[in-house]
Chain A
Amino acid sequence: EDKVVQSPLSLVVHEGDTVTLNCSYEVTNFRSLLWYKQEKKAPTFLFMLTSSGIEKKSGRLSSILDKKELFSILNITATQTGDSAIYLCARSNDYKLSFGAGTTVTVRA
C-alpha cells in the first residue's frame, strides 16, 4: 500500500496564528500530491501539486511540493475558527489516491 505520513496528528492554535502541516510520501509511481479539507464528513479539494518548488495559493492557504525530499507542506496564515477541520494529504499513482491519516486543526477564538 502506498504510504502517506502526515504530521502533526493534531494541533490547537489561536485565531491569527500561522499553521504549517507536513506530508511525506513514498515515490513509487508518483503522479501528484493533493490536499483536502474535511469538515463534518465530506473532504473538499484544496490543491493538487505536480511540480517541485512551485507554490500554489488560495487566499490564506498555500502549499508547496518537494519531489527531491518527498514531502509537501500546507500553510494557513491568519487562521480563523472556520479553518478548524481535518486536513488530508493524498498521493496519486496511475489511477488512485492513497490518503494519510490527516491532521486535525482546532482554531480557538
Chain B
Amino acid sequence: EAGVAQSPRYKIIEKRQSVAFWCNPISGHATLYWYQQILGQGPKLLIQFQNNGVVDDSQLPKDRFSAERLKGVDSTLKIQPAKLEDSAVYLCASSFGGGRRFEEQFFGPGTRLTVL
C-alpha cells in the first residue's frame, strides 16, 4: 500500500513570495490533515478535511493560508504572502475517517519550508 505522498520535499523562498504544497493521501482515506511543525514544537493542526468538506480550520491563518481538496482526494496548501515565521515543516496526514479510526493517522514525509 502506497503511503502519503507530498511534494516538494524542500522549498526556500523570500518573504512575501507565495508557495504551494501538494499532498496525495493513502487510497481510500476519507480524512486529510495539514499540520505545521515549527522547530522544537509538536505538529499543530492547520486544517482537516472529511472528503472535500472542511471539518476544522480554526487554526489556519486565513489571511495568508488557503487549502483545498476539490475532488476529495489530493489537496493543496498555499501560503501567500509568506512571512519569516512560516518557516516550518508542513506535514500532511490521512486516516480512514471518523469514529475511532481518525486517531490512526498516517503521515507523509513533509515539506521543509524556509522563508528568507
Chain A interface residues (CB < 8 Å from chain B): 4, 31-32, 34, 40-45, 48, 88, 90, 92, 95-102
Contact = CB atoms under 8 A, between A and B. Distances in A.
Nearest to B55: A95
B48 A102 contact: no
B103 A88 contact: no
Q: Is the interface of A mostly helix, strand, loop or mixed?
A: strand
Contact of A41 (B45, B102, B109): B109
- Of the candidates B42, B44, B45, B104, the one having the most CB atoms from chain A within 10 angstroms of its own CB is B42
Contact of B105 (A31, A40, A41, A97): A97
B2 to A, nearest CB: 14
Contact of B107 (A31, A43, A96): A43
A74 to B, nearest CB: 15
Given A31-B103, A95-B98, A43 B43 contact: yes
Interface string B86-116: 0001010000001000111111111010000
Interface string B33-67: 00000001111110010000001100000000000
Contacts of B104: 45, 48
Interface of B: 40-45, 48, 55-56, 89, 91, 98, 102-110, 112
B42 A44 contact: no
Given A95-B98, A96-B56, A101 B108 contact: no
Nearest to B89: A41
A8 to B, nearest CB: 14
A101 B42 CA distance: 4
B102 A42 contact: no
Given A41-B109, A95-B56, A100 B48 contact: no
B109 A48 contact: no
Contact of A44 (B43, B56, B107): B107
B56 A90 contact: no
23 contacts: A4-B42, A41-B91, A41-B110, A41-B112, A42-B91, A43-B91, A44-B107, A45-B104, A45-B106, A48-B103, A88-B43, A90-B42, A95-B48, A95-B55, A95-B56, A95-B98, A95-B102, A96-B45, A96-B56, A96-B102, A99-B42, A101-B42, A102-B41
